[in-house]
Amino acid sequence: MKSPRNLKISSLSFCLPLCLILTGFLFSSCSESSANILSVNASVVFDYKDEKSLPETSLSVFIQGEYEAQRADFLKITEIEENYSWNVYSPVIFESQNKNWIGYSSLLAPEDKVIKNGEYEVLYTDAAGNEAEEKFFIKYNEEILKSKPENVRKAAGINLSEVVILFDKNMNMLFYGTAKRAWKKNSDILKEYSRAFFKRRILTDTSGTVVIKLPIENLIEK
């Protein structure tokens, strides 16, 4: 068996997966309990840079721990078939709705590869050296990988919901949610959000396991 190719991740520069973007962070104190994984929340993200390009792919993985999230020390996510892995030395840790979450949202595919359908495994190590592991699966319609933005809804082959994110010229978020019925054109948005400069539409399936980020649009008429 060939050795895993480890992709070291140590920076906390990240964008949380769609379902966690607006989650409030409440950090907890440490405890002496052993590591345990209650569930795995995994999403494959398709990121379109422009209207002509095919999507880049990344993986978002968050585990629900049984005990306080601050005990998290290390995560290793492995793609089983080709045996490559991501080592996360500085996982994002937070508590939301009385659940403890540990993970990372920008696990980029190795060079010349995409995030594949199939079986993955996450290994969690807490600060005391206790370990827990859990397997999970990624599944999506691979036609997405060959589709331009204009055709991606059809390629996905599933029902997709859409949210809109508005940003100012410095990419600070001004709005997140379903587009308002009154927004028939960009000028309608600017009447309500005068500082808005960019718009991005995000498509997701009902479970949040498929996230499609359409290209960023400029709201200002040229």
- Minimal CA–CA distance to 163: which of 2, 12, 21? 21
* Angstrom distance (rounded) from CA 149 to CA 92: 30
User: Does the domain spanning 6-138 belong to CATH 1.10.10?
Assistant: no
* Angstrom distance (rounded) from CA 173 to CA 189: 14
pLDDT digits (tens, 9 = 90+) for 40-92: 999 999 999 999 999 999 999 999 877 665 566 789 999 999 989 999 998 88
Question: What is the distance between the terminal CA atoms of the chain, rounded to a whole angstrom?
Answer: 56
Q: Look-up: residue for tokens 């480890």?
A: 6
pLDDT digits (tens, 9 = 90+) for 109-155: 888 889 999 999 999 988 788 889 999 999 999 999 999 999 999 99
- Minimal CA–CA distance to 15: which of 74, 58, 66? 58
Residue partners of 184: CB distance under 8 A and separation at least 6: none
Q: Structure pTM?
A: 0.81
* Angstrom distance (rounded) from CA 113 to CA 110: 5
Kindly tell me if the per-residue pLDDT of 24 is higher than 50: no
Locate the domains of the chain by residue range: 6-138, 147-218
Q: 155: which 2 tokens?
A: 């390629």
